[in-house]
Amino acid sequence: MRTGFAAPATEELADTITIGEYLIRHKESTYLMKVEGDGMASEGLLDGDMVLFERRIDAKRGDIVIVLDEAGYRLVPLSKRLVGQIIGVVTASFRTYAAF
Amino acid sequence: MQPFEKVILHFDGDSFFASVEQVMDYRLKGKPVVTGGERGAITSASYEAKRLGISRGVTLRDAKKICPDLAIVPGNYLWYSVFAERMYTIVREFTSIVEEYSIDECFADITGLDVVMKMSYEDIARVIKSKLETSLGVTFGVGMGPSKVLAKVASKHRKPAGFTVITSQNREDFLRELPLGKVWGIGPASSIAFSKMGVFTALQLAETTDAWIDHHRVSLPYREIRAELQGMSVKELSLEYEIPHSIIVSRTFRPPSSDREVLISQLSKHIESACAKARRYGVCAREMRFYLKTQEFAYKGYECSLPLPTASPIDIIRMVKKFINRIYVPGVLYRATGICLRGFVPESHLSSDLFGESVGVEKRSHVHKVIDMLSRKFGDHTVFLGSSMKALGDQKIRERGKTLEIPMLGICRTTNIGVVRCVE
């Protein structure tokens, strides 16, 4: 007689987590943007990457923030001299590859 | 120091639809913006537009005259509902007693929370307000009072971004000058009826005697409003989900087309989405309206009632096919289509008809159950009607079914991950 794998009980399934849950801590304040250009390559963000950011007011030095000025959105590491309005703080990013 | 039993908050998103548009498209920030382009009437006006005298009730043509640079955008109801859900969820982090009153308003009962949070009620309200405003990028008018009616008077008091507290001490000051017709729950007809009895302001109603109320045979809803104006909480917060007033789905497509079949297919896709939403609420529509938008941004719409209340796309597409020629002009290029379902009745209230049409409806409801289950599991439009093929076939291949549940800041009116706003 052949048998398959035992079906996992639902309690065990509860231990799994979706990618969304892993990447998003505060769902209510999180938004998504796509990176254009390689200006942030030094920070590990490449053209076409997706970044998740939270709208919040407690950005700290060293955080990568999304800034809005007349030209549109920009990604910058937060430093003392900053032109424009901070829209949010980048909390995660992800990338897909050619085989996607 | 709270002299009242209850502490109710009312949150009201300032120019909600227009504000969401400004959050999602930075180019609209600080500019006069109105929504409602898809139905040819203003549904919401940004404060920049309101300052120029443009508000709901002004025709689009007049608004354009007042402000030639006015940005008129079609309503993106998916975005608004995502932002509304976020609003409810944020308020629920503080209390479970939240009434989702409408897409841009909610009530919350925070009675007793001052002890739990070791903060004054005013400070709690400010904390929730600031959390809403940072998280959503939209400002809120917030009112606090001992009843729902007074909380709503308070939130309307100072806009935008106001916070007003009505207490037993200042209650009369707020109600003295307030015309009765401005009170929540009192319509134009009843306000005229009251004025004939010599009651013109909210305070006058609050100060009527029981004998006066009995003598004039004032009915229960108005007795409740009177009690609430006096500072007593008698209207319970409704924690059930409300049946929506209407469901609207519309989208611009590219390239523009004059092909009648393409238009029907686009409509078919929207109808499937709208019906799926109606079924989620457990309601059937009695009326429908569909429209086409030309390349020149002109809208042509047709509305009719449905032979039977329905949440089945097939019934509605049949009507579109029957009537589309009333608005479709061959050779004209169209860029968008939309569907609006209205006049909802709960599914369970449907009575059988005399001639047996509802038998077919019942048969299809099994099919819908399966389709809805598949959509929940694999994403919307996993299974779709043949009539939606032209609109969905290619799109499904492009998307590969990948969608995210978070709004993507951008100029493209979509939640498709392939067309997100870019950042440099």
User: For this structure, is B105 an active site residue?
Assistant: yes
Cβ contacts of B93 within 8 Å, gap of 6 or more: B131
ipTM metric:
0.81
pLDDT in tens, B57-68: 899 999 999 999
Q: What pLDDT is recorded for position B93? A: 92
- Closest by CA to B23, choosing from B138, B162, B140, B139, is B138
Q: What pLDDT is recorded for position B272? A: 92
- Residue from B98, B414, B423 whose CB has the most chain A CBs within 10 Å, to mutate: B423
Q: What pLDDT is recorded for position B363? A: 62
Higher pLDDT, B156 or A16: B156
Q: Which CATH class is domain A30-94?
A: mainly beta
Residue range A84-99: average pLDDT? 92
A30 → chain B, closest CA residue: B406
Q: What pLDDT is recorded for position B394? A: 57
Residues above pLDDT 70, as percent of chain B: 86
pLDDT in tens, B61-90: 999 999 999 999 998 888 898 899 999 999
At B91, list the tokens.
């308020």
Residue range A4-18: average pLDDT? 55
Q: What pLDDT is recorded for position B196? A: 94
3-state secondary structure chain B: CCCCCCCEEEEEECCHHHHHHHHHCHHHCCCCEEECCCCCCCCEECHHHHHCCCCCCCCHHHHHHHCCCCEEECCCHHHHHHHHHHHHHHHHCCCCCEEEEECCEEEEECCCHHHHHCCCHHHHHHHHHHHHHHHHCCCEEEEEECCHHHHHHHHHHCCCCCEEECCCCCHHHHHHCCEHHHCCCCCHHHHHHHHHCCCCEHHHHHCCCHHHHHHCCCCHHHHHHHHHHCCCCCCCCCCCCCCCCEEEEEEEEEEEECCHHHHHHHHHHHHHHHHHHHHHHCEEEEEEEEEEEECCCCEEEEEEEEEEEECCHHHHHHHHHHHHHHCCCCCCCEEEEEEEEECCEEHHHCCCCCCCHHHHHHHHHHHHHHHHHHHHHHCCCCCCCHHHHHHHHHHHHHHCCCECCCCECCCCCCCEHHHCCEEC
Q: CATH 3.30.1490.100 in chain B: give the residue spans.
A: 246-418
- Of A31-45, B14-28, B318-332, B363-377, the range with the lowest mean pLDDT is B363-377
- Rounded CA separation B336/B297 (Å): 9
Fold of the B246-418 domain: Dna Ligase; domain 1 (3.30.1490)
Q: What pLDDT is recorded for position A62? A: 87
Q: What pLDDT is recorded for position B355? A: 52
Fold of the B1-242 domain: Alpha-Beta Plaits (3.30.70)
pLDDT at B418 over 70: no
Cβ contacts of B223 within 8 Å, gap of 6 or more: B213
For chain B, first and last CA: distance in Å?
Answer: 53
| CB-facing half-sphere around the CA of B326: CA atoms within 13 A | 12
Q: What pLDDT is recorded for position B392? A: 75
Q: What pLDDT is recorded for position B353? A: 52
- Rounded CA separation B199/B160 (Å): 30
Cβ contacts of B405 within 8 Å, gap of 6 or more: A20, A27
Domain ranges (residues) in chain A: 30-94
- Of B93-107, B124-138, B229-243, the range with the lowest mean pLDDT is B229-243
Contact B135 A52 (CB under 8 A): no
Residues of A in contact with B135 (CB under 8 A): 26, 28-29, 55-56
Chain mean pLDDT for chain B: 86
pLDDT in tens, B278-295: 888 888 999 999 999 988
Q: What pLDDT is recorded for position B81? A: 87
Q: What pLDDT is recorded for position B288? A: 94
At B194, list the tokens.
């009251």
Q: Where does the pLDDT of residue B371 fall: very low under 50, low under 70, confident under 90, or very high at 90 and above?
A: confident
Q: Which A residues in the span 49-78 are in contact with B, Cβ-Cβ below 8 Å?
A: 50-52, 55-57, 66, 68, 72-75
Angle at A48 between CA A43 and CA A51, to 5 degrees: 60
Residue range B227-246: average pLDDT? 85
Q: Where does the pLDDT of residue B421 fall: very low under 50, low under 70, confident under 90, or very high at 90 and above?
A: low
Cβ–Cβ contact B403 with A under 8 A = no
pLDDT at B362 over 70: no
pLDDT in tens, B243-278: 778 888 888 888 899 999 999 999 999 999 999 888
- Rounded CA separation B318/B315 (Å): 5
Q: What pLDDT is recorded for position B422? A: 55
Judge whether B218 and B185 are in contact, CB under 8 Å. Answer: no
Q: What pLDDT is recorded for position B403? A: 39
pLDDT at B24 over 70: yes
At B147, list the tokens.
């009843």
Please identify which residue in the block is written with the tokens 């930075």.
B26
How close A1 gets to chain B, by Cα (Å)? 33
Q: Where does the pLDDT of residue B396 fall: very low under 50, low under 70, confident under 90, or very high at 90 and above?
A: low
Q: What pLDDT is recorded for position A91? A: 95
Q: Where does the pLDDT of residue B208 fall: very low under 50, low under 70, confident under 90, or very high at 90 and above?
A: very high
Q: What pLDDT is recorded for position B424? A: 54
How close B184 gets to chain A, by Cα (Å)? 29
Judge whether B295 and B256 are in contact, CB under 8 Å. Answer: yes
Q: What pLDDT is recorded for position B159? A: 85
- Of B10-24, B152-166, B243-257, B324-338, the range with the lowest mean pLDDT is B243-257
Sign of CA dihedral B352, B356, B360, B363: positive
Sign of CA dihedral B56, B58, B61, B63: negative
Q: To 10 degrees, the CA torsion angle through B72, B244, B382, B253?
A: -10
- Closest by CA to B376, choosing from B276, B281, B278, B284, is B276
Residue range B10-31: average pLDDT? 95
Q: Which of B21, B99, B100, B105 is catalytic?
A: B105
Q: What pLDDT is recorded for position B298? A: 82
Taking only Cα atoms into account, the Rg of chain A, rounded to an integer number of angstroms, comes to 19
